[in-house]
Amino acid sequence: MASQRLYDLVFLVVPEKDEAETAAIVDDFRKLLVDQGATIDKDESMGRRRLAYVIKKRNDATYHNFLFRAEAKAVAEVQRKMRLSESILRFLTVRVDEEMKHGQKVARNTKVRTPRPVPSYDGGMSHAPIQHVPEAPAPDAMKAEE
């Protein structure tokens, strides 16, 4: 048996579906995941929200999120069904354990830096004063003077 990995799946259900139909769609995908051997850690409906941009001529959708542990073949099957479903506008699956591992690696390899000492201000002018240099006139202005 291959090892189960942690995934985060967010999907958008078309706005034409009412709450009962949306719940039925979510139940179908939840059942599909469980049938494929997944264990769901978090199952959260994020409600109907306005989209950042129009997707398939729609301005809003119902968001839903699953955080689950499964094998890669189970994730592939769920994604395949979502692609085929006309009720799903978009979906995104992220392998969370990979992201957490990367974050831990970055944290381990990042050195703690001590802040640079700030030079004290002595109150006097320790450098030469800045001189104002006049700008050269624009080429059009020079033609007008001639």
Is 43:66 a contact under the CB 8 Å cutoff?
A: yes
With bands split at pLDDT 50, 70 and 90, how would you rate the model's confidence at 79? very high
SS percent in the chain: helix, strand, coil, step 5? 35, 30, 35
Q: What is the pLDDT of residues 84-142, one digit of tens each?
A: 999 999 999 999 887 777 778 888 888 777 778 877 766 655 555 566 666 766 666 55
Is 87:5 a contact under the CB 8 Å cutoff?
A: no
pLDDT of residue 131: 64
Domains annotated for the chain, with CATH where assigned, are 5-107 (3.30.70.60)
Evaluate if residue 40 carries a pLDDT over 70: yes
pLDDT of residue 113: 75
Instruction: Cite the DSSP H helix spans in the chain.
Output: 19-35, 72-84, 96-109, 139-145
pLDDT of residue 74: 92
Evaluate if residue 28 carries a pLDDT over 90: yes
Distance from C-alpha of 26 to C-alpha of 78, rounded to nearest angstrom: 12
